[in-house]
Structure 1
Amino acid sequence: MPRALPIPTEQQREEKVSRTSFLRAEFDQQGGKTVMTGKYQTAPVKIAKTFDYSGELAAIVMDASPGMLEGDIYQFDWRAGPGTSVYVTNQSYTKVHPCKEGAGAVMQQRFKVEEGALMQSMMEPIMLYRGAALMNESEVQLGNGAVWMQAEVLSPGRLLRGESFVYRKLDNRLKVYHGDELIFYQRQLIEPGLQQLKAPGSWEEQTHLGTLYAFSDRINAGWLETVRAALEELPEEAGAHAVLAGASLTSKHGLGVLAAGRTAWQLQRTLQAVWTALRQERLQAPPLRLLS
């Protein structure tokens, strides 16, 4: 049975009262399989279920609330021990409700991926409702030979309710360390009321944005070739169904894929193809599903 992680400090208990929700999980190798060896969680988020896939462990996160409200803080802390292989996803979209001016919701994730481990964060899309604001921040710490991958799709709002870029703010940040060295920092700030998103070179007619990042000291030009080949094999679609996608290496130990389109499912399909190709050709791992 998974062991309990350390009891939160007094400061953390006070933060919990102020609507901070914690989810911490540890994964280790036991008997040639990845197993969850520790967890701590507070409502409304929890690990609903884990599944074993030939020694690789998939963990599904559940949010037992209508979505993130003003003042909500979610803190996720993931540790993948040496040689483990972990895939984390969630049950549905991350929904962010309206927030007052100057306030918002906060999602913070920390990934510690130890020597030779594989950690994959493949969550369902993020959707911000009218007037919503979200700070979405991830920090990754990589050991030697470790691999971290993340896919993310951003939706402009509830399109069937006439919401398209009527949220207030999305502040997206990603920081990656290899050992003690900072190897990547990305900040994406979207404020639809202040920016000309339809301008040439910006979003133009696209409404959804997808990204897939991979970081590891094992990444080389061959990984980029695999990604570009996977993108080229996708069926071509025209007009409103066209997906624009490209990929490049980062300055050190990284790979980024950017895709833009008009629907979330198309971008999920695109990132699924890239993820599957990397797993099969670069990690010698069987395909897993990104789509729910």
Structure 2
Amino acid sequence: MVSKYHTAPIKIAKAFPLGSAAGVMVMDVSPGLLSGDRYELEWKAGEKAHVYMTNQSFTKVHPCADTIHGGASIMQKFVLGEGAIVESMPEPIMLYRDAAFLNETEVRLAAGAVWMQAEVLCPGRTLRGERFQYRSYRSRFRVFYENELIYAQNGRIEPALQLLTSPGCLGEMTHTGTFHAFGAGITTEHIVAVRHTLAELPQWNGHSIVAGVTAAHKLGIAVMAAGTAAWPIQEALRSAWQSLRVSIAGLPPLQLQGDSQFPT
């Protein structure tokens, strides 16, 4: 790591060697995001740099005031130099009752760069009876390859206005997750391989998983999964990620500790 700058409550808890990569652990020293909070994180990976990043615990979003400026947000920007590899594997997002959250991501890739990220969304503290009691979840996602916009996605969930538990929507599923990978080396063969990997996943302790894989418009792959708990979805997305890190980047699988994203 050449340089870093951060202000409370975000900090780099530790950086550590991880094979050919630099591992980075991000820590939020607050109880979570409150109404009006905005976190901005910008990562720059130089030519042929390789970084694996995660965070220390769930991203917790607390109740947000119902005003025009209410809600919390995170903006992440990734800028990758030629041949750089960035693997972003954060812990799940937890939306408390009455939470309102905007999740923004922008990725800019130079030639030969590879970016991969998984995200898992929880409907609330289910053990406390919170299921889809948050106000809203919005996502904005943009990917540029050599300054060309190759992927754009906007999402909005408002449980009070949408029939999320209806058949054809989420049905009995409560948790969702996505995995994205972008880079010039991604082909149809990689998509087929990920589909095969996901088809062989077990059913964990009665938790069923439904997952789909598709090609992005250009130079990318997208995986979406739904289930009844966060950790089985994490396992499913990890399987897709591990498959791609081997086939695209020529990297060995990482061994992770239990249900954590932290490597052993």
Q: TM-score, normalised by structure 1?
A: 0.85
The amino acid that maps onto 2:182 is F
Aligned residues: 256
Task: State how 1:1-292 maps to structure 2 within 5 Å.
Answer: 36-102=1-67, 103-236=70-203, 241-288=207-254, 289=256, 291-292=259-260
Deviations 1:239-278 (A, max 9, x none): x511001101011111000110000000001011111111
Q: For structure 2, which runs of at least 5 residues remain unmatched after alignment?
A: none
AA of the residue aligned to 2:137:
L
Greater CA deviation, 182-191 or 196-205? 196-205
What letter matches 1:47 in structure 2? I
Residue 232 of structure 1 deviates from its aligned partner by 2.0
Larger Cα-atom Rg: 1
* 2:232 partner amino acid: Q
State the SS of the aligned residue for 2:5.
Answer: strand
- The aligned amino acid for 2:31 is P
Q: Matched residues in 1 for 2:30 and 2:154: separation? A: 28
**Contact 1:248 / 1:255 at 8 angstroms: preserved in 2?**
yes
Q: Counterparts of 1:86 and 1:141 in 2: how far apart (Å)?
A: 15
Amino acid of the structure 2 residue aligned with 1:55 = S
Identical aligned residues as a percent: 50
Distance 1:224 1:55 in 2: 25
1:110-168 Cα shifts (integer Å, max 9, x gaps)? 00011101011100000010001001000000110100111000000001111000000
After TM superposition, the structure 1 stretch with the greater mean CA deviation from structure 2, 199-208 or 88-97, is 199-208
Any runs of at least 4 consecutive aligned residues in structure 1 with deviations exceeding 6 A, and if so which? none
